[in-house]
Structure 1
Amino acid sequence: MDFVKEWLQAGQMTVSRLLLQHYHRLGLTTEELVFWLELNSYSQQGETFPDLDQIARQMGLSQAQVFKLLEQVVAKEVLQIVTAQDSQGRQTDSYDFSPLYEKLTTILQADAAQAEVTSKEDQVSHLYQIFEQEFGRPLSPLEYERIAGWLDEDHYDPELVRLALKEAVTHQARSLSYIDRILLNWESKNIKTKEAVTNEQARRKMALLQKEAEVSQGAGTAEDQQLPPITLHNPFKED
């Protein structure tokens, strides 16, 4: 018998790694997961309501055990039995697997939201540390409160506050009032991201270089006007 041919004819089933990684968080046992996957594999082959006796034989379980598994996965809301009626009035049953995907999506969304909260908390904690490093001392309670106000009340991104601090340090102005003016100036120009700050700094640098070039050119012209006129007389030629 050609087992390779039989293997290929049996078809393939795709299982997301997310399901394998998180099925315990859905409240499923390993046996319940295998049962759910067995039903799903038949569904992928077009059998929407397979014979449970056949699944029992494949899993090495009794009929009563398989029916118990069916009750459990339905109770855990990862599978739903749907009854539909066709145009001739005949009722047909099928399995709906979408409840599992919906529950898994909810879990993953909650994970992503928590990760974002944790990331922001880490950013804020790191921001306070940077301020203390740049100021060379611990922050006072009022300073903590003012920085927190930028984040919680004014809703400035922690990265934007860090860049404002960096700008202030560049100008030798380690002052929260100076940093506040920088943030207000950026806000008036709708500067809210690191990229926007970089572009604004590049624009200011270009404007400064252009101004210096104009001043230098003007100074050179005035100096040229102060030079004595060049004579065309040849001192070695007799008059």
Structure 2
Amino acid sequence: MNQANGTGDFVSWAAGASAGMNQGMTVIPYALLRYYRTIGLNSSECMLLIHLLGFQQVEHKGFPSLEELQQVTGATTEMIAMILQKLMKEGLLGIDEHVDEERGIQYERYNLSGLYAKLGHCLAEESKGESEGAKAADNSRKGNNSASLDTFRFNKPAASKTTPVEEERNLFSIFEKEFGRPLSPMELETISGWVDQDRYPDELILLALKEAVFAGKVHFRYIDRILLEWSRNRVRTAQDAKAYTQKFRNIGR
């Protein structure tokens, strides 16, 4: 009797889980599954994007933590942070800041519009290839030998390319060592901004970090202020930074 009840409970639980899955499905763009390799992603990076969609759509979490992503992917937080950084660097993922006006709380949310734009481009390219392919086939039937196989571009693989991330990985590792913890996605994006947008040399960024450690103010806002101050005073190289810093230390004596 107890065994029967146990079996019944199991069936009921399974039925409930099935109903729950029907109510909590994640909508995944088929274009992502079809073109993720074309836009230069591997299966782990694609899976992480799918999990971000799941958090947004089902759990209503626009900015899951590295630990939450670790639980669902099984990857280390360091690896997840590196993947997120790559996605942001390549313009597939962004971070938007919002303010809850009712509670006055600022929060972040991952933005996948860059990903959708790339996938849209892939769809447009395929449509264009199909159109050109049909036109070429028609010309061929009419005896026009000028039609070229180059017009057929079905699922054209992305050209192999190397992205300059090794230097940034070095920066990330050094910052994590000094901070004594993994960097957050926002912090990774800040470092990328210093390198890609502000064009600060790596050695200058590391010197700013060293100055922050020396001052006992190891946080990103302080480091950013140092870099901004150097930029305003035309400090371009590590040598300039050392001379500028030494000058003010001598004044303070």
Q: TM-score, normalised by structure 2?
A: 0.47
Higher RCO structure, 1 or 2 (CA under 8 Å, sep 6+): 2
Q: TM-score, normalised by structure 1?
A: 0.49
Larger radius of gyration: 1
